[in-house]
Amino acid sequence: MIEVTDISKIYSTGETETRALDHVSFKINTGEFVAIMGPSGSGKSTLMHILGCLDTPTSGTYVLDGEDVSTLSDDELADVRKRNIGFVFQAFNLLPRTTVLRNVMLPLMYANIPEAEREERAKKSLKAAGLDESRYEHKSNQLSGGQIQRVAIARALVNDPALILADEPTGNLDSKTTEIVLDTFSRLNEEHGRTIILITHEEDVALYAKRIIRVRDGHIESDDSTHTRRKIHHMAEAAPTLA
């Protein structure tokens, strides 16, 4: 359902050209949990932006859910993001001084979901993200880091998107909350069959995924589905204690 074929991204500043992505191709199927890894400057952020429909490739095609999105305009991309993609950011990016519920309902507002339906859907996805119900009316600045990131995950889920794209979601969290948040992603993938792409530069974080795509200098260095299994089994055992 994600099919990236031969995409390149070239940034030109004046005379110099930077090739951030160089003829990259891969496929990701529905229900996969993929980590995209690479050091800074490897092109993984550029790849994330293109996969998240925030940017378009200079050449090549990107087919998301059967639709070629590689040549769309700004507003058309916004429309695709609204329907198909849920974002989780490193910096959380919740609206300050706004309640948890309102934050989660925000994407529904832009998607023209009737008001009556919004709260119900927001509560459903907050539950899926594992946030305690007593926090729903809290302002986002009254929550801990782990709670904030779960609100952000709930916001990414609320539109029922084809793809959840998490960009360094644990970069600002301590190791304990990191584990909670990554367990949440695993559970969403295992139990709800969500397609998740996790962008990270940390090996431990990437191991939570079932497949790791390593990017370096604009190329795919390796695409590996074997070395993560151990962690996944560990995860499956740990899952019941999460609730």
Partner 1 sequence: MTSKDLFEETFTALSANKARAGLTMLGIVIGIASVIALVAIGNGAQASIQSSIQSLGSNLLIVTPGATKNVGGFGASAGRGSSHTLTIADANAISAQVSGITAVAQEISSRYQVTAKGTNTNTTVDGVSPEYATVRDVTVTDGTFFSSEQVQSLSKVAVIGPTTMTDLFGADAVAADVIGQQIRINGIVFTIIGVTQAKGGTGFTNSDDMVYIPVATAARYLAGGEYLTTVDIQAQSADAMTQVQTDTTNLLLQRHQISDPTQADFSILNQASIVATASSVTGTFTLLLGAVAGISLLVGGIGIMNMMLTSVTERTREIGLRKAIGANQKDISNQFLLESLVLTVIGGTVGILLGVLIAFLTTATGLLAASVSLGSIALAFGVSAAIGVIFGWYPARRAARMNPIDALRYE
The site for partner 1 (CB under 8 A) is made up of: 49, 52, 54-55, 74-75, 78-79, 81-83, 86-87, 89, 91, 93, 95-98, 106-107, 109-112, 115, 155, 159
Q: Is 134 exposed, middle or buried (0-12, 13-18, 19+ CB in 10 A)?
A: exposed
Q: Which is nearer to partner 1, 97 or 230 (CB)?
A: 97
Q: Which is nearer to partner 1, 73 or 241 (CB)?
A: 73
Listed residue (43, 10, 5) closest to 221, CA to CA: 43
Coil/strand/helix, residue 7: strand
Q: Which is nearer to partner 1, 74 or 120 (CB)?
A: 74
Coil/strand/helix, residue 119: helix
**CA-to-CA distance for 158 and 171, rounded, in angstroms?**
23
Q: How far is the CB of 89 from partner 1 (least distance, A)?
A: 7
Q: Which is nearer to partner 1, 81 or 121 (CB)?
A: 81
Q: How far is the CB of 110 from partner 1 (least distance, A)?
A: 4
Q: Which is nearer to partner 1, 82 or 124 (CB)?
A: 82
- Annotate 168-224 with three-state secondary structure: CCCCCCCHHHHHHHHHHHHHHHHHHCCCEEEEECCHHHHCCCCEEEEEECCEEEEEE
Q: How far is the CB of 109 from partner 1 (least distance, A)?
A: 5
Q: How far is the CB of 198 from partner 1 (least distance, A)?
A: 17
